[in-house]
């Protein structure tokens, strides 16, 4: 796990670098990159930077395939609060990603277990996710894997915690009762199969979750801690999110002294 502490725009550029490198290197051999996209406010600057590179530098997402992490149960895809719609607004509509190549969980699925199993199969059929962008909840959830989630879980229905519903009420005009109680989410085991995980955390509200993620014991109580078992994780933090790290000075030194050939 590599921990990088910086400011917002620098972090967005670093995450965009990882995605750009993968998109270009796959395209160079006639293959398609597979991206894992996250919603939430943390990755927004990354999507802004990708849109800028598309507009100004010709970075093309044609042929790229993408999978969303999660979705609210009960919201149709065109609902402005659905994660499908958010990703459409924040990224897909701003680049040349073909919407048909962007896969999301169906919040209106009648047979939820079948929809979740089909989603798992679609990820496998794509060849697997190359780069997965992640945020983290204040309680340590990734995607919608709330505390208590099996560290080996697969795509399934979950019940949101009251804390997560309160956090996300800002997208529902502040009305916590309007936030769905259930969601569909890739499991921790599913996410762990992506080849490179890039997690972005911003602000002091995330500092305890980040401390647990990087330095705590692996535990279903802090679901993101399962990432400690992944061989290739980049954790991008601003000062607030990094403020409770015990080894912050060491992470800064390691990044400053990193050999130029190493990359992320």
Interface with ligand GLP by CB under 6 A: which residues?
Answer: 38-42, 69-70, 135-137, 143-144, 164, 168
CB of 75 to ligand GLP, least distance (A): 13
Catalytic residue among 20, 90, 146, 167: 146
Choice between 51 and 138, CB closer to ligand GLP = 138
Catalytic residue among 65, 71, 101, 141: 141
- Check if the beta carbon of residue 116 is closer than 8 Å to that of residue 156: yes
Tokens 């919603």 found at: 39
Known catalytic membership, residue 141:
yes
Rounded to a whole number, what is the distance in angstroms from the first to the last CA of the chain?
A: 10
Q: Give counts: helices (H), strands (E), the chain.
A: 8, 10
Choice between 59 and 186, CB closer to ligand GLP = 186
Known catalytic membership, residue 208:
no
CB of 168 to ligand GLP, least distance (A): 6
Q: Which tokens go with 103?
A: 């896969």
Residues in the chain: 264
Phi and psi at 75, nearest 5°, equal -100, 130
Choice between 51 and 140, CB closer to ligand GLP = 140
- Check if the beta carbon of residue 196 is closer than 8 Å to that of residue 132: yes
Known catalytic membership, residue 70:
yes
Choice between 59 and 70, CB closer to ligand GLP = 70
Residues involved in catalysis = 70, 139, 141, 146
């Amino acid at each position: 796990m590599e921990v990088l502490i910086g400011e917002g725009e620098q972090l967005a550029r670093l995450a965009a670098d990882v995605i750009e490198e993968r998109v270009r290197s796959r395209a160079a051999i006639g293959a398609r990159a597979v991206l894992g996209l996250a919603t939430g406010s943390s990755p927004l600057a990354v999507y802004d930077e990708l849109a800028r590179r598309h507009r100004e530098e010709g970075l093309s997402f044609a042929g790229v395939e993408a999978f969303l992490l999660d979705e609210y149960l009960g919201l149709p895809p065109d609902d402005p609060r659905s994660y499908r719609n958010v990703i459409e607004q924040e990224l897909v509509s701003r680049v040349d990603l073909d919407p048909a190549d962007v896969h999301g969980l169906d919040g209106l699925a009648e047979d939820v277990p079948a929809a979740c199993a089909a989603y798992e199969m679609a990820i496998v059929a794509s060849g697997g996710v190359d780069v997965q962008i992640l945020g983290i909840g204040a309680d340590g959830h990734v995607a919608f894997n709330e505390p208590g989630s099996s560290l080996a879980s697969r795509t399934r229905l979950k019940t949101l915690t009251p804390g997560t519903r309160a956090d996300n009420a800002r997208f529902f005009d502040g009305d916590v009762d309007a936030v769905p109680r259930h969601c569909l989410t890739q499991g921790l085991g599913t996410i762990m199969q992506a080849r490179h995980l890039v997690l972005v955390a911003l602000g002091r509200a995330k500092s305890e979750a980040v401390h647990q993620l990087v330095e705590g014991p692996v535990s279903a109580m802090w679901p993101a801690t399962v990432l400690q078992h992944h061989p290739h994780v980049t954790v991008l933090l601003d000062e607030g999110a990094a403020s409770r790290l015990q080894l912050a000075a060491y992470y800064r030194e390691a990044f400053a002294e990193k050999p130029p050939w190493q990359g992320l």
